[in-house]
Amino acid sequence: MAQLRLGVLCSGGKDSLFSCFRAMQEEEVACLVTLVPENPESYLFHTPNLHLVPLQAEAAGLPLVSEITTGIEEEEIDDLSRALAVAADRHGIEGVVTGALMSVYQSTRIQRVCHDLGLWCFNPLWYRDPERYMEQLITSGFRVIVSGVFSAPFDASWLGREIDLEALSALKQYARDFRITLTGEGGEYETLVLDAPFFQRRIAIEESVYWYKNYRGVLEVKKARLEER
């Protein structure tokens, strides 16, 4: 069978971009697809630093399909369906790739939308061993920072911290002692990808602000640009 043309659902975090990396090894990635919620409490689509996805798409040399979603739970599915239909129309995608790790809620809904549109659906990180995945992420050349924390015991120093082997070791400790998921699957932390093995250039943050209180905080990137690696 010839390579499939795929669109990768992208939130800007490690899971969607690692899935993109894996998809590129097997198939042809034709575009990134992102949904920008009006409602910051989106059930399905993560919000911090979504505005940097266009810069990531540019860094990767991939076209981006970006659609607004209401962020209202039941309407999000229609918005997703619309975005994927646009991607199919504009870039001829035959399938979708997601970074779903263990969320049955998220994957069920995306599987249904793909089924209705006649698209393939791939979740290459599905039920992946968390430690192995995190190690692979670091060793394969991703540069990922923590862009939000939403759980004890994360302090403010985690905002903007790069997930390297040392940070991973701390996360493993937290996973043991505080029962967070190592990958942040439970929403304990959010990430932003600044560099990936398939990026032609990397993202440099020029200006950012953060807020933090009681184990909850967000690093908001105000200004960023692409630079040579």
Residues engaged in binding other proteins (CB under 8 A): 1, 22-23, 26-27, 95, 97, 104, 108, 111-112, 114-115, 118-129
Least distance in angstroms from the C-beta of 165 to other proteins: 22
Least distance in angstroms from the C-beta of 190 to other proteins: 23
Per-residue burial over 33-61, b if 16 or more Cβ lie within 10 Å, else e, is bbbbbeeeebebbbbbbbbbbebbbbbbe
> By C-beta, is 108 or 157 nearer to other proteins?
108
Tokens, residue 76: 């999000």
Residues paired with 32 in a beta bridge: 8, 64
> By C-beta, is 69 or 123 nearer to other proteins?
123
> By C-beta, is 106 or 147 nearer to other proteins?
106
**Are 93 and 31 within 8 A, CB to CB?**
yes
> By C-beta, is 26 or 164 nearer to other proteins?
26
Residue 104: how many CB atoms within 10 A of its CB? 9
Q: DSSP 3-state assignment of 220?
A: strand
> By C-beta, is 104 or 207 nearer to other proteins?
104
Question: Which of 221, 218, 8 is CA-nearest to residue 110?
Answer: 8
Least distance in angstroms from the C-beta of 58 to other proteins: 25
Least distance in angstroms from the C-beta of 88 to other proteins: 14
> By C-beta, is 121 or 149 nearer to other proteins?
121
| Amino acid present at 187 | G
Least distance in angstroms from the C-beta of 215 to other proteins: 29
Query: Angle of helix 73-91 relative to helix 104-117, nearest 10 degrees?
Result: 50
Least distance in angstroms from the C-beta of 42 to other proteins: 20
**Are 192 and 145 within 8 A, CB to CB?**
yes
Tokens, residue 22: 């894996």
